[in-house]
Structure 1
Amino acid sequence: MHLPEPVVRALRCSVCGEPLAEHGRALRCERGHSFDLAKQGYVNLLHAKIPAGTADTAEMVAARVEFLTAGHYRPLAEAVAAQVARLCPEPGLVVDAGAGTGYYLAQALPENSYGLALDVSAIALRRAAKAHPAIGAAVWNLWEPWPVADGAASVVLNVFAPRNASEFRRVLRPGGALVVVSPNPGHLAELGSAVLGIGEDKEQRLDSSLAAHFALDHREEISYRLRLEPAAVRQVVGMGPAAHHLHRDGRAERLAEITEPVDVTVSFTLSVFR
């Protein structure tokens, strides 16, 4: 497996910051730092361990693949794709910060553009690397300075993922845009304590966290109702951050007891910043 050449050009050595080039089954900088390309098609640029409970597990990734493949969040993916098409009329690089399995990046990538999927979970990036032929995937901790060149990206995506505002700004080209998707307070509220609660002031906190580097350009809400079968209920809980806490307060037991379909509210806010 190889990373798309435009993606390799955008990457930087995570040790010294020099450009990388592909040499056989590895990416290497001129100073000799080398990073093996996994057979699944991604590269791991990390050189430090990630704390337990941070990265998506194999079980979380499997649940996400099943749930997203069923199309439950397709309206959201279509809204993200529409915004990326508007923001990236010319071929460019779209960086998905916290890409997971690459579902949204693959749906949104404009024709003749390339995508870089960054995520701390190598298990998730095995999927992202194969989600679209123009995507390259790199394991990275988003809270650290990214191994990406200044001004390399036309658009940065951030869908339910950590937000590193200074790195968003640094890797965007002049005139580039940031697309952020976050859940609303009523999202999956019918599932109660099985999911993590969303604060009522989440939009204010989002805007405040980005204010030093970005101005709001566009905001829209995507809300609709879904009827989820019991298996899908367990998938939507098991694919998100609540999966790290299912052992607490009898949550796993309550999920296992669900035997009938559940009607839920799906609600997101899509925000575009420049």
Structure 2
Amino acid sequence: MPSRVVAWLRCPVCQDPLAEVVTGGSRALRCPRRHSFDIARQGYVNLLTGRAPHSGDTAEMVSARADFLSAGHYDVISAALADAADTALAADTALAADPTAPGAHPLVVDAGAGTGRHLAAVLAAVPAAVGLALDISKPALRRAARAHPRVTAALADTWQRLPLADASTALLLNVFAPRNGAEFRRVLAPGGRLLVVTPAADHLTELVAALGLLRVDPAKADRVAASLAGHFTEESTTVHRQELTLSRPEVATLVGMGPSAWHTDPAGLAARVETLGEPVRVTVAVRLGTYRLQGASPGDPP
């Protein structure tokens, strides 16, 4: 597990630093008070304490997402994040010439990372950075741990205290995931940025009525603002759209990887998908908001 990421991790029990230990062929992260957290053979570490209120996306949902993303259908989102990250971390990447300098390897944290594809795209765009994928879903983390050589994956509930040091994170990603404003503020470094991706009003609009999917909440932007109020100031916002041309099986995969999968009868959905004419044209529309810490000025260094 990359030491440059482990150095920023903290014990979820006592908040002491963690270090990797190997005992009898088993690997774990352990703090000075001997709280120990196993590193699974699939490469992720379990930093969850107590019982999680939910288990996150199922193996079937994660498999559907991996198939859909690997086909490049959401690359418009990855590209937008990569461009925004490159801009936000420009000051940090300049330090890469001195690998011992503070900030030479800025930490990018994806809170609710899923399979890690978006985080991997950001790391590809910012070669000096290292990444941490946080998610509550074990099937997702098994994939995230292999998403990029500079990704570390950890099981954590983002509604709880994040297993990170204060002011440790240069860039925080939040893509279609819950937002914990207070914790995001605690872990973000001064001058760091939070990138939030949420669905725009017309996201997947062609499928909503035809398949009985969940509609985008008209108050979505207000709810995002409320979740970050008192902690962050929005610096900029951009909307990114792309029309997809999908087959019926790809439509079924798209629905199966999202929130509608929890609320849709599989047999009824399959029947409705079969009534669609091919190819199926679907709009991807997302809002990307860039936020800085409240009270910080735009030019503050990371």
Q: Normalization by structure 1: what TM-score?
A: 0.94
Q: How has the CA–CA distance of structure 1 residues 51 and 259 changed in structure 2, closer, same or farther, with 3 Å as cutoff?
A: farther
Corresponding residue of 2:170: 154
Q: Aligned partners of 1:31 and 1:257: how far apart in 2?
A: 60
Corresponding residue of 1:38: 40
Secondary structure of 2:236's counterpart equals: strand
Secondary structure of 2:7's counterpart equals: helix
Q: Gaps spanning 5+ residues in structure 2: where?
A: 93-104, 293-302
Map 1:171-186; keep pairs closer than 5 Å: 171-186=187-202
State which of 103, 106, 120 in structure 1 corresponds to 2:120: 106
Corresponding residue of 2:142: 126
Map 1:44-83; keep pairs closer than 5 Å: 44-52=46-54, 54-83=55-84
Q: How has the CA–CA distance of structure 1 residues 47 and 209 changed in structure 2, closer, same or farther, with 3 Å as cutoff?
A: closer
Map 1:243-262; keep pairs closer than 5 Å: 243-247=261-265, 250-255=268-273, 258=276, 260-262=278-280
Give me the identity figure in percent.
Answer: 50
- The number of aligned residues is 271
Q: Aligned partners of 2:49 and 2:9: how far apart in 1?
A: 15
Q: How has the CA–CA distance of structure 1 residues 249 and 200 changed in structure 2, closer, same or farther, with 3 Å as cutoff?
A: farther
Structure 2 residue identity aligned to 1:17 = Q
| Aligned 8 A contact 1:221 1:270 in 2 | yes
For the pair shown, which has the larger CA radius of gyration, 1 or 2?
Answer: 2
Q: Aligned partners of 1:145 and 1:196: how far apart in 2?
A: 30
| Aligned 8 A contact 1:56 1:124 in 2 | yes
Indicate whether 1:138 and 2:157 are aligned.
no
Structure 1 residue identity aligned to 2:240 = I
Q: Aligned partners of 1:171 and 1:265: how far apart in 2?
A: 34
Corresponding residue of 2:244: 226
Q: Gaps spanning 5+ residues in structure 1: where?
A: none
Structure 2 residue identity aligned to 1:229 = S
Secondary structure of 1:127's counterpart equals: helix
Shift of 1:49: 2.9
| Aligned 8 A contact 1:186 1:265 in 2 | yes
| Aligned 8 A contact 1:188 1:195 in 2 | no
Secondary structure of 1:10's counterpart equals: coil
Q: How has the CA–CA distance of structure 1 residues 44 and 171 changed in structure 2, closer, same or farther, with 3 Å as cutoff?
A: same
1:158-189: CA deviation from partner (whole Å, max 9, x where unpaired): 00000000111100011111000000121111
Q: Aligned partners of 1:214 and 1:154: how far apart in 2?
A: 14
| Aligned 8 A contact 1:118 1:137 in 2 | yes
Q: Aligned partners of 1:78 and 1:248: how far apart in 2?
A: 32
Secondary structure of 1:215's counterpart equals: strand
Q: How has the CA–CA distance of structure 1 residues 101 and 194 changed in structure 2, closer, same or farther, with 3 Å as cutoff?
A: farther
Q: Aligned partners of 1:195 and 1:151: how far apart in 2?
A: 39
Q: How has the CA–CA distance of structure 1 residues 249 and 71 changed in structure 2, closer, same or farther, with 3 Å as cutoff?
A: closer
| Aligned 8 A contact 2:76 2:242 in 1 | no
State which of 219, 225, 240 in structure 2 corresponds to 1:201: 219
Secondary structure of 1:48's counterpart equals: coil
Q: Normalization by structure 2: what TM-score?
A: 0.86
Corresponding residue of 1:241: 259
Shift of 1:46: 1.1
Secondary structure of 2:161's counterpart equals: coil
Shift of 1:256: 5.2
| Aligned 8 A contact 1:194 1:237 in 2 | no
Secondary structure of 2:217's counterpart equals: coil
